[in-house]
Amino acid sequence: MTAAATKSTAHSIVEASPRAKAFASGLVILYAVITILPLLWIVATAFKSQSDAIAYPPKVIFEPTLEGYVNLFTVRTRQTPDFIAKLPPPQTWYDKLVRQRDMVIAGPSKVVPRFVNSLIIGFGSTFLAVFLGTLAAYAFSRFRIPLADDLLFFILSTRMMPPVAVAIPIYLMYRQLNLTDTRLGMILLYTAVNVSLAVWLLKGFIDEIPREYEEAALVDGYTRLQALRKVVLPQAVTGIAATAIFCLIFSWNEYAFAVLLTSGEAQTMPPFIPFIIGEGGQDWPAVAAATTLFVVPIVMFTVLLRKHLLRGITFGAVRK
Amino acid sequence: MAQIRIENLRKSFDQFTAVEGSTFTIDDGTFFAMLGPSGCGKTTTLRMIAGLELPTEGKILLDGEDVTFHRAAARDIAFVFQLFALYPHMNVGENIGFPLKCQGMARREIRERVQETARMLRIEHLLSSKTSKLSGGDRQRVALGRAMVRRPKAFLMDEPLGALDAEFRHLMCGELRDLHDRIKATTVYVTHDQLEAMSMADQIAVMNKGRVEQIGTPQEVYDRPASMFVADFIGSPPMNFLRFEGGLRSGDRAVSFHDTRLAVPEIREDRANAPLALGVRPEHIRFADAGAVRGEVFGAEYLGTTQIVTIDTAYGRVAARLSSSASVRIGENIGLEFNAERLALFDIGSGLAIRTANGEGPRHG
């Protein structure tokens, strides 16, 4: 034993010292500020007027307006003040808002159908990927499958390059199959990309569930599928939730394929948002409003599954 | 309740053979223990009886009906797992009632049966608890309850006490045997712990490398081991083997052990000259100055009423169980005398027992 080792330690070795704790909280706060600030800026920009949004130096204090949101949801045309004066008085607050800028509402914009597309494609592909992934992962985990290791590697290898690398072959394929600019096509595509992630993640989770549970259920009178549904799935909920979030985040945010393969019917929010054009260029408040709305579902989904997600990310770290 | 018959059961995984052609019958109401070291195929055999694993060859008959390829659920047997396998998302009552729910029984009836079972196991007060809050012993009781509630033809238990601590294991041994005596269900119990098997079972099958080496009552297996493996596996310390070379003649009551003659139980078979082993249980050794085998005391292990004395002899180290009142000095040179009627003889080549008045040698059910 050296002299240093025999010296008694005054502080606990399991409890962090106050200084270490303060340092750690400082780091976390700094990280939170860095990540949350841009989001806050977007939320704030959505309530700015056009001129405030592009003001330099940037305005932190400003007069909030709903113009951004109105612009996002409507298509407007500019009219002469004479024409506007002849119109009957505005029916609603947003009519009024628009007329102050010498414009009239010509109709709804495409944001709602685009948003619906995003919801259908995002959640649809997530559901499919998790559903197929669970079945495949269960089979890999429980049955003796010939060449299982090779198959698993093959599944993983589909993620070894950025999906966009195969954009052109996929584009050509989709054109042949008439799948371009269809929701079904996008769901299939995102499912294909996500299912490998789902299989690998879920296999890890299912491996951790002792086989005895389903075997007990099999002996007690369930069929294999019943045992999977009633005994394995409830215990894999954590893993399924975590996997679902990862899949949804990918398919929700995916941009490159969406730009390439969708233009009208099946266009999702990511390619739609950057092209919200106002008079004289980008309509930043409307873009910010769209971004804010776009973030909401995924935040809600994550918050709902947060408990599972936390346990899911740390799975295997501590044995029960 | 049912009789279980195993015929030429074999199971191999790729290159590896886990169970090799065993044949035996477990009579109705028997507490049958399968005992052996890990990897001997006892669990695989049990899983085949349960229907969780399909045999490569052979048949399994339940009450005469061939169930070899029936689904596990169609066999009407219950399985108790080592890790209990209580469903974590259900409470105690739901766990016990689960097999009945699988069968689609009415809720009221399930509740009654669960109550009744819980009463038998004295866990009524736990019915609405979470399984994660239970102690090991209570978890085991719940697992038993889940097995019992259905009143199955047979219970299969895979090292059910393996996860409990020693003190509790002893208590549960008593409870399990008591339960068996009350409900008289055919029970197949897999364990690697000879004490569990010896204290609970009516019949013990000792398995090694996928083969059943011997089936018999605990006394038979202990007193008349059919092979050196059984003799070595059962008993603590195990049987001593003293090697020698010689031939045997039917009817002889002594063997030439190196340069002396040793009395043995009457030999029932003829043998040409071959390497043999004399099997002596530690409790059948006495210290005697006139003893034919001599050695030097190597050590003594005090166990309360008895002590285990190890002696270095010319034929290897021998363990003797003596009364703890006997005074033994380490390094002392002493003579050993064996209880002739209780000796066993083994053929080292095959590892099998040689037939004598004490034992009939290898027998397979």
Across the interface, of B77, B88, B99, the residue whose CB is closest to A235 is: B88
In a domain, A146, yes or no: yes
Q: If DSSP codes are grouped into helix, strand and coil, which group holds residue B159?
A: coil
Alpha carbon dihedral A237, A239, A245, A251, in 10-degree steps, equals -110
In a domain, A192, yes or no: yes
Within this chain, do residues A145 and A124 fall inside the same structural domain, yes or no? yes
Within this chain, do residues A131 and A120 fall inside the same structural domain, yes or no? yes
Domain that holds residue A147: 112-313
Distance to chain A for B96, nearest Cα, Å: 11
Give pLDDT tens digits for B192-245.
999 899 999 999 999 999 999 999 999 999 999 999 999 999 998 999 999 999
Inspect the interface and report whether the beta carbons of A221 and B87 lie closer than 8 Å: no
Tell whether the torsion through CA atoms of B276, B278, B279 and B282 is positive or negative: negative
Within this chain, do residues B187 and B72 fall inside the same structural domain, yes or no? yes
> Residue B347 in contact with residue B332, Cβ under 8 Å?
no
Within this chain, do residues B202 and B189 fall inside the same structural domain, yes or no? yes
Provide the pLDDT for residue A319: 38
> Which residues touch B112 (CB under 8 Å, ≥6 apart)?
none
Question: Residue B283 gets which letter from DSSP?
Answer: G
Domain that holds residue B250: 228-347
Among residues B223, B256, B275, which one ends one of the domains?
B223
Distance to chain B for A227, nearest Cα, Å: 10
Within this chain, do residues A119 and A154 fall inside the same structural domain, yes or no? yes
Is the predicted pLDDT of residue B361 greater than 80, yes or no? no
- Domain with residue B244: its CATH number is 2.40.50.140
Within this chain, do residues B193 and B258 fall inside the same structural domain, yes or no? no
Within this chain, do residues A63 and A135 fall inside the same structural domain, yes or no? no
What ipTM describes this predicted complex? Answer: 0.77
Q: What percent of chain B has pLDDT over 90?
A: 55
Within this chain, do residues A185 and A243 fall inside the same structural domain, yes or no? yes
Within this chain, do residues A100 and A174 fall inside the same structural domain, yes or no? no
Distance to chain A for B66, nearest Cα, Å: 17
Task: Give the whole-angstrom CA distance, residue B38 versus residue B209.
Answer: 9
- Domain with residue B67: its CATH number is 3.40.50.300
**Residue of A219, A228, A238 to mutate, interface with B, max B Cβ within 10 Å:** A219
Within this chain, do residues B94 and B112 fall inside the same structural domain, yes or no? yes
Please tell me the total count of domains within chain A.
Answer: 2
Within this chain, do residues A94 and A196 fall inside the same structural domain, yes or no? no
Structure confidence at residue B360 as a pLDDT band (50, 70, 90): low
In a domain, A20, yes or no: no
Contacts of B79 in chain A (CB under 8 A): 215-216, 219
Among residues A75, A90, A109, which one ends one of the domains?
A109
In a domain, B127, yes or no: yes
Within this chain, do residues B271 and B217 fall inside the same structural domain, yes or no? no
Within this chain, do residues A130 and A57 fall inside the same structural domain, yes or no? no
Within this chain, do residues B135 and B273 fall inside the same structural domain, yes or no? no
In a domain, A32, yes or no: no
Provide the pLDDT for residue B364: 43
Provide the pLDDT for residue A212: 85
Give pLDDT tens digits for B4-63.
999 999 999 888 888 988 899 999 999 999 999 988 999 999 999 999 989 999 999 999
Inspect the interface and report whether the beta carbons of A219 and B103 lie closer than 8 Å: no
Q: Render chain A in DSSP notation, one character per residue.
A: --HHHHSPPSS-SSSPPHHHHHHHHHHHHHHHHHHHHHHHHHHHHTTS-HHHHT-SSPPSS----SHHHHHHHEEEEE--HHHHHHSPPPSSHHHHHHHTTTEEEEEE-SHHHHHHHHHHHHHHHHHHHHHHHHHHHHHHHHS--TTHHHHHHHHHHTTSS-GGGGHHHHHHHHHHTT-TT-HHHHHHHHHHHHHHHHHHHHHHHHHHS-THHHHHHHHHT--HHHHIIIIIHHHHHHHHHHHHHHHHHHHHH--HHHHHH-SSTT--HHHHGGG-EETTEE-HHHHHHHHHHHHHHHHHHHHHTHHHHHHHHTTTTS--
Inspect the interface and report whether the beta carbons of A216 and B77 lie closer than 8 Å: no
**Residue of B77, B98, B105, B133 to mutate, interface with A, max A Cβ within 10 Å:** B98
Task: Give the whole-angstrom CA distance, residue A262 versus residue A185.
Answer: 10
Within this chain, do residues B19 and B135 fall inside the same structural domain, yes or no? yes
Task: Give the whole-angstrom CA distance, residue A212 versus residue B50.
Answer: 13
Inspect the interface and report whether the beta carbons of A218 and B150 lie closer than 8 Å: no
Half-sphere exposure of residue B224, counting CA atoms within 13 Å on the CB side? 17
The residue count for chain B = 365
Among residues B162, B188, B223, which one ends one of the domains?
B223
In a domain, A162, yes or no: yes
Within this chain, do residues A118 and A244 fall inside the same structural domain, yes or no? yes
In a domain, B262, yes or no: yes
Provide the pLDDT for residue B365: 39
In a domain, B353, yes or no: no
Across the interface, of A212, A226, A234, the residue whose CB is closest to B83 is: A212
Within this chain, do residues B198 and B334 fall inside the same structural domain, yes or no? no
Within this chain, do residues A304 and A210 fall inside the same structural domain, yes or no? yes
The tokens describing B18, both together, are 């886990």
In a domain, B293, yes or no: yes
Q: What angle do CA A32, A37, A41 make, to 5 degrees?
A: 160
Please tell me the total count of domains within chain B.
Answer: 2
Across the interface, of B77, B82, B89, the residue whose CB is closest to A219 is: B77
Within this chain, do residues B248 and B295 fall inside the same structural domain, yes or no? yes
Among residues A67, A89, A109, which one ends one of the domains?
A109
- Domain with residue A219: its CATH number is 1.10.3720.10
Residues of chain A with pLDDT under 70: 1-12, 280, 309-320
Nearest Cα neighbor of B320 from B345, B298, B346 is B298
In a domain, A36, yes or no: no
Q: If DSSP codes are grouped into helix, strand and coil, which group holds residue B56?
A: coil
Within this chain, do residues B102 and B133 fall inside the same structural domain, yes or no? yes
Within this chain, do residues A60 and A148 fall inside the same structural domain, yes or no? no
Q: CB-based contact (8 Å) between B98 and chain A? A: yes
In a domain, B136, yes or no: yes
Q: CB-based contact (8 Å) between A218 and chain B? A: yes
Give pLDDT tens digits for A106-118.
889 899 999 999 9
Q: CB-based contact (8 Å) between B288 and chain A? A: no
Nearest Cα neighbor of A193 from A252, A264, A238, A138 is A252
Within this chain, do residues B102 and B246 fall inside the same structural domain, yes or no? no
Within this chain, do residues A134 and A202 fall inside the same structural domain, yes or no? yes
Contacts of B75 in chain A (CB under 8 A): 219
Q: Is the pTM of this model over 0.80?
A: no
Give pLDDT tens digits for B296-349.
999 999 999 999 999 999 999 999 999 999 888 999 999 999 998 899 999 999
Among residues B175, B204, B223, which one ends one of the domains?
B223
Mean pLDDT of B92-96: 92
In a domain, B361, yes or no: no
Within this chain, do residues B40 and B164 fall inside the same structural domain, yes or no? yes
Q: Which of residues 68-97 of B touch A (CB under 8 A)?
A: 71-73, 75, 77-79, 81-85, 87-89
Task: Give the whole-angstrom CA distance, residue A212 versus residue B72.
Answer: 13
In a domain, B364, yes or no: no
In a domain, B137, yes or no: yes
